Amino acid sequence: MTAASSLPGHPFITYQSGELYVEQVRLSELARTHGTPLFVYSKAAMLSALGAYQRGFAGRKAHICYAMKANSTLGVLQVFAQAGCGFDIVSGGELARVLAAGGDPAKVIFSGVGKTRAEMQQALQAGIGCFNVESTAELEVLNEVAESMGEKACVSLRVNPNVDPKTHPYISTGLKGNKFGVAHEQAVHIYLHAARLPGLKVVGIDCHIGSQITEMTPYLDAMDRVLDLVTQIEAAGVPIHHIDFGGGLGINYNGDTPPEADALWAQLLAKLDARGFGDRQLMIEPGRSLVGNAGVCLSEVLYLKPGEQKNFCIIDAAMNDLPRPAMYQAYHHITPVQPRIGTGDVFDVVGPICESGDWIGRDRSLNVQPGDVLAVLSAGAYCMSMSSNYNTRGRAAEILVDGDQVHLIRERESVFDTFQLEHLPV
């Protein structure tokens, strides 16, 4: 292994003299000190991903609201809050996290199809920027809640542009059969209704068509559909102050080639300009593309188990830590932190959980022995935030690396932590 070769798509994760590093920190050392499974994030990688959006929007009126469902750990939120980001939230719990991390509530937008009255109250009290409303029924409840508090809630309607994002069906959200948003055909009618409700102030429009999108066309098509609607809604007498184009930009997991954020936005802004909307206040809600390739999950090889049809490499991380392969058949690259010389064998990399669905990688060529530490790449998004305690496994610890600095941003959850809210009936 030559000195300092970065992994494709991971400029801040490098092999240096045969050892894997995140920025200037050796991963074998972190695994030894903090144990495994262990999530490690690069602050520079997050800021670099954010930088691509900031470059794309240079000179424009644009707010970047990090979709924190991708990774809602306080230490990660603080990085984005300090970089000036707002947040796209989907629960009262996420709002509490934004506030705990020092985020500005005025830069928060609240998405999701099922906001409760209590969450609406909490968000109005905190003074969030905007509710992204997804149905007429929700509009009416929000109106009631705001009126009862003597407030006016700023709202944007999430419209469903009926565009195919060409991604996994579970993470495609902008098609007619999805539960999200209001139908394109009904949008003008619902805007007129919203504008008449005394507890609401209509401020924007939003759409989000899906996640892990690797092509530009679905974005360009969705933008056309949304701009058509803005024209119609404004012609009907309701001004639209901001346009929110959601998140969804994909990352490189396995040779995927999504556009860079600045290249994507160069195209989208050209369309906005051509259609005369270039000076509008813009918003976006990126999640995965800001954190996905900033994180790795370190895991120790427990056993090698040769089989008649398959060889298994059993590691100490499992589907409770890394749920994406089990849920979406997702690919995460897996690489040793201290590679051995030689080719090794082909393994299915699996966790200790009692389910055949508990796999992390299939048919991987690895030269490993028990005790070796593997890095599961692209683990910054939708891993820790979707983790669980299944099989009474405590959640992993998390580290934020900043240059040569190591910050423990989440301690390992103990087994006691996992049952401390439970009571024996007798």
Binding site for ligand LLP (CB under 6 A): 67, 70, 88, 111, 171, 173, 208, 211-212, 246-249, 285-289, 324, 328, 382
Q: At what angle do helices 187-196 and 217-235 cross, to 10 degrees?
A: 50
Nearer Cβ to ligand LLP (113/408): 113
Nearer Cβ to ligand LLP (280/332): 332
H helix or E strand, kind and range, residue 11: strand 10-16
The whole-angstrom distance between residue 355's C-alpha and the CA centroid of its chain comes to 26
Q: At what angle do helices 43-56 and 74-82 cross, to 10 degrees?
A: 40
Strand spans (E) along 211-356: 242-244, 281-284, 295-306, 311-315, 334-336, 345-350
Rounded CA-CA distance 204/219 in Å is 18
Q: What 3-state class would DSSP assign to 77?
A: helix
The whole-angstrom distance between residue 351's C-alpha and the CA centroid of its chain comes to 23
Nearer Cβ to ligand LLP (170/419): 170
Q: C-beta of 21: minimal distance to ligand LLP in Å?
A: 26
Per the CB < 8 A criterion, the answer to whether 111 and 91 are in contact is no
One of 85, 130, 297, 354 is an active-site residue; which one?
A: 354
Per the CB < 8 A criterion, the answer to whether 306 and 373 are in contact is no
Q: C-beta of 247: minimal distance to ligand LLP in Å?
A: 3
Q: C-beta of 270: minimal distance to ligand LLP in Å?
A: 22
Nearer Cβ to ligand LLP (21/265): 265
Alpha-carbon distances, residue 362 vs 15, 293, 315, 358 (angstroms): 23, 20, 13, 11
Q: C-beta of 66: minimal distance to ligand LLP in Å?
A: 9
Our answer to whether residue 85 is catalytic in this structure is no
Q: C-beta of 205: minimal distance to ligand LLP in Å?
A: 13
Q: C-beta of 286: minimal distance to ligand LLP in Å?
A: 4
Nearer Cβ to ligand LLP (9/286): 286
Rounded CA-CA distance 379/38 in Å is 11
The whole-angstrom distance between residue 158's C-alpha and the CA centroid of its chain comes to 19
Nearer Cβ to ligand LLP (23/94): 94
Per the CB < 8 A criterion, the answer to whether 14 and 334 are in contact is no
Q: Just list the catalytic residues.
A: 354
